Homo-oligomer: A and B are copies of this chain.
Amino acid sequence: MTILFYSEADSAEPWREAFARELPHIAFRVWPDAGPLESVRYALVWNPPRGLLARLPNLKAILALGAGVDPIPTDPTLPKGVPLLRLVDVGFPAQMAEYAIYAVLKFQRRMGELDDLQRRAQWNQLDPFFARDFPVGVMGLGVIGKVVAQRLSAVGYAVAGWARGPKTIENVEVYSARGRLKDFLARSRVVVNALPLTPQTENILDAAAFATMPRGGYVVNIGRGAHLVDRDLIDALDSGQLAGAMLDVFREEPLPSTHPFWRHPKIVVTPHIAAPTIASEVQAQVIDNIRRLERGEPPVGLVDPSRGY
């Protein structure tokens, strides 16, 4: 029995050690050194190449090394009926909230402009912006978006959320269903994207969305790079329709050094660090999930591949 590891973003060694210690009866192999493919019972993967999972005839579960599982559900060869599991609440929501709060405060308190003034040793108080003029909209009210919205509200912002279905979250005004997206965008000076990536949400942050937001608005992307139309964002910033953006996720990662986002004066780029995983907690969750599967118990973090989350 084998667990097959595939990730270009995570080191395999800590996992090899954890499995040797916790589940010594399962062989740990790192792609492409997979051994006999029919022996692979579990795949522990992040961003696996298309077709890889289809080559494993006795696969019992796919464990994604992330809170999001894309692009796995869009692989047309994805084996049907094999449970797909994602990481659940290993500190992700709180970390995402930290990032979002920092981003909103940075824009509302004009901190980027003050950084520029410090570089010139210039004492200039600027006209203040007030929190009451910065209604924040959180796109996606899943486990992550809900905590992000609640904590932004606790900092003092008027927070609304946009979700597919109706929800009730204290102190958060919920806009649900596609038809209410325009109203949601129109009232949000800052939009924080925490959506899962699905065919319905891809490219949702586009020229039409930016034009619906109030002039001088801001975008924070902690969802996926493919939610955002890169060119449309740059155009909206250059025209003044948007005043700034803070981006943690990109269509291509690492973001190529020639990409215009790096040097755009109104864009803050961070290298996909909004929710750094706490390795020990992730390991504990994956190992616990494999133990559950081995005992025939329901695992944690089951994803519906047709929805993508």
Contacts and interface: CB of A to CB of B under 8 A. Distances in A.
Contacts of A97: 155-156
A270 B128 CA distance: 13
B269 A94 contact: no
Tally of this chain's copies? 2
Interface stretch (A23-31, A62-70, A100-108): A100-108
Contacts of A151: 154-156
B155 A118 contact: no
A200 interface: no
A273 interface: yes
B269 A131 contact: no
Given A98-B109, A154-B155, A155-B155, 10 more contacts: A91-B130, A94-B131, A101-B155, A102-B105, A114-B270, A114-B271, A121-B257, A123-B271, A128-B276, A151-B155
A165 interface: no
A9 to B, nearest CB: 9
Contacts of A273: 109, 114, 125-126, 128
A98 B155 contact: yes
A254 B121 CA distance: 10
B102 A106 contact: yes
A252 B278 CA distance: 44
Interface residues of A, number: 44
A257 B121 CA distance: 6
Contacts of A131: 94-95, 98
Interface string A246-280: 00000001110100001100001111110010100
A97 B157 CA distance: 12
A19 interface: no
A20 interface: no
A121 B156 contact: no
- Could you say which of A106, A151, A271 has the most chain B C-beta atoms within 10 Å of its C-beta? A271
Interface of A: 91, 94-95, 97-99, 101-102, 105-106, 108-109, 111, 114-115, 117-118, 121-126, 128, 130-131, 151, 154-156, 253-255, 257, 262-263, 268-273, 276, 278
Nearest to A250: B123
Contacts of A126: 273
Nearest to A127: B276
Contacts of A253: 123
Contact of A254 (B95, B118, B123, B269): B123
- Could you say which of A98, A108, A255, A278 has the most chain B C-beta atoms within 10 Å of its C-beta? A98
Contact of A271 (B109, B125, B155): B125
A98 B262 contact: no
Nearest to A130: B278
26 contacts: A94-B156, A97-B155, A97-B156, A98-B108, A98-B131, A98-B155, A98-B156, A99-B109, A101-B101, A111-B270, A118-B268, A118-B269, A121-B263, A122-B257, A123-B253, A123-B254, A123-B255, A123-B257, A123-B271, A124-B271, A125-B276, A128-B276, A130-B276, A130-B278, A151-B156, A154-B154
